[in-house]
Structure 1
């Protein structure tokens, strides 16, 4: 085993070839670990539910605040100011993220209301209300040859806006449900657990921002570990309460097909809008990749605040986990194709 300058181990022999193929289709250790957490939760749900000798759920709660603190620490106010000028791009991305997605899913509510699949629909709507992802959007835009500063700006702004917009969308269906959703309580928790750490991180950016940027790889691993912990505890609670007993393998397959269909539907709509608005190639790529993605990080960490009951969180998170994997697969293929087309041009 040898180690490159970035600190990532690079095995020898046939393994690099297999690793390269897996990376090309979006299969990394994190996706495999997500599946592992679900299997572990199914086999040993008590570990994620029991509060003795240590409550993993409480550890995850503290981890949520640290994730958003480190996120704020890496946000540069100067870079955000510079990105304000490209307003057409920003409007398309944010409207796609917070308006187009929910409006596409909203009409399906009448089909699934008062059915066994209503909770799955709620999970899909939660996915639709989430902000765009940050890291993978920027990476894919970079590979495809898009507007990288525009991608960074929109991903960052989307994450901040999602702190408020996501719970507002979810409040339409949770305030009168049995989920115990109280908008005032939720907003209070969001301020203390999410917004306050972000603001504190931004204020300390001038002092510790360079340190956070240098260690962004380690911080990303920390984010992923907390997400895995949240996924494990959430699915443990759901399995312990037999929340999945009413769903078949066919239901999950249909959900997967619906998620990939949703991705390409949004992709096509944004492509058409950018054509009508006369976007150049770089801005079009950025609009498509940033506007069609959803953040698994925000989906998992905000679920700890929005769904305090815990027993249904596993089902709520299932659509975003499936969408996360499929969006990586699809967007990586598209980004590589765009890169080859740019090279030919």
Structure 2
């Protein structure tokens, strides 16, 4: 376990990998698949209900005035990433299959993470209120922006067949529960704080159920028979290179625009991350009837790589901040 902790692989990542393994051996079929599908929809609603109860409107308002920082983060999330995703089309079909490229492009269109972006910013001694607002704004806008980008970029390039009506499904499954969570937050926030650990289990359990559903469908479709080992290695390499490019560009953008150290950390962590928690539920709606397992594979792989990489960066910047403080003391 010491080796795993040095690599910053936490129990949740291992649980995701274990869920993939279970789905590979015992995929849901027939009636079981229908039960899992309904359970997944309920889990998605519960997940976004919890998101709504956790976000403090006061904390969000405290950082809203730093609009310049948030615009840069949103630009990285919904402009820089999509441009890189479109440029990656040159990798078809020799490096990535059509479905894997669809997944890679979808990965580039989803919003930033919330919890890990804020956590890494805090560890690195960055602007935590700024990270809270930037990451949360990215997720809220992503409910609308991601489906619109999918329709605009993926329909026109023939990579997916997504109807405008999918936005309605997104609103019903994601936004409505989130708004309900905001409305009931004053009455349940104390209870949620008291039972933080069970709530976390519901949160992560919902994601694991989505992962199981996606990969079960993939196994029924013969996902692993569609991919050779070198394709999987190639996909991992593509995800690593994509993350490296975005990390480099976000760091460069922060310095070029004259942001201070705390804000540059926010730009790097919030602008380079992609949300598995938001992306997987969206994929189940946007790509219904399509090879979900293959399409979400790039997002799942990118998510794991970004967690390990950003954890290392956060720890390094934390040590640098401590060293700078010691020198000035």
> TM-score under structure 1 normalisation?
0.88
Match of 2:311 in 1: 332
- Contact residue 26 and residue 325 of structure 1 kept, 8 A: no
Quick one: structure 1 residues 336 and 241, their matched pair in 2 at CA, closer, same or farther if it must change by over 3 Å? Answer: same
SS at match of 2:321: helix
Distance in 1, matches of 2:315 and 2:20, equals 31
Q: Deviations over 1:176-218 (max 9, x none)?
A: 859652112x111112111111111112222223333444433
Aligned to 1:182, which of 163, 166, 174?
163
Q: 2:259 aligns with which of 274, 279, 287?
A: 279
| Counterpart selection for 1:317 from 285, 288, 296 | 296
In structure 2, distance between residues paired with 1:53 and 1:42? 14
Alignment match of 2:22 (pick from 20, 24, 40) = 40
Check conservation: 2:169, 2:285, Cα contact below 8 A: yes
Where do 5+ consecutive residues of structure 1 fail to align?
1-17
Range moving further from structure 2, 224-233 or 267-276: 224-233
Match of 1:13 in 2: none
1:99 pairs with 2:79: yes
3-state SS, counterpart of residue 108 of structure 2: helix
Q: 1:82-97 residue pairs with structure 2 within 5 A?
A: 82-97=62-77
Change in Cα spacing, 1:214 to 1:126, as seen in structure 2 (3 Å) is: farther
Please point out which of 160, 166, 184 is paired with 1:204.
Answer: 184
Match of 2:140? 160
Q: After TM superposition, give the deviation of residue 168 of structure 1 in Å.
A: 1.1
Cα pair 1:97 1:132 within 8 Å, conserved: yes
Rounded Cα–Cα distance in structure 2 between residues aligned with 1:219 and 1:98: 30
Aligned to 1:10: none
User: Residues 74 and 213 of structure 1 are in contact (CA less than 8 Å); yes or no, is this contact kept in structure 2?
Assistant: no
Deviation, structure 1 residue 301: 1.5
CA distance in 2: counterparts of 1:284 and 1:240, whole angstroms: 44
Report what 2:204 is aligned to: 224
Between the aligned partners of 1:318 and 1:52, the Cα distance in structure 2 is: 22
* Cα drift, residue 115 of structure 1: 9.4
The corresponding residue for 1:173 is 154
Cα gap change, 1:189/1:114 in structure 2, threshold over 3 Å: closer, same or farther? farther
Q: TM-score, normalised by structure 2?
A: 0.92
Q: Which moved more, 1:93-102 or 1:71-80?
A: 71-80
| 1:302 and 2:315 aligned | no
1:125 is matched with 105
Q: Where do 5+ consecutive residues of structure 2 fail to align? A: 325-329
- From 240, 244, 260, the counterpart of 1:264: 244
Asked if 1:65 corresponds to 2:75, the answer is no
Range with greater deviation from structure 2 (300-309 or 287-296)? 300-309
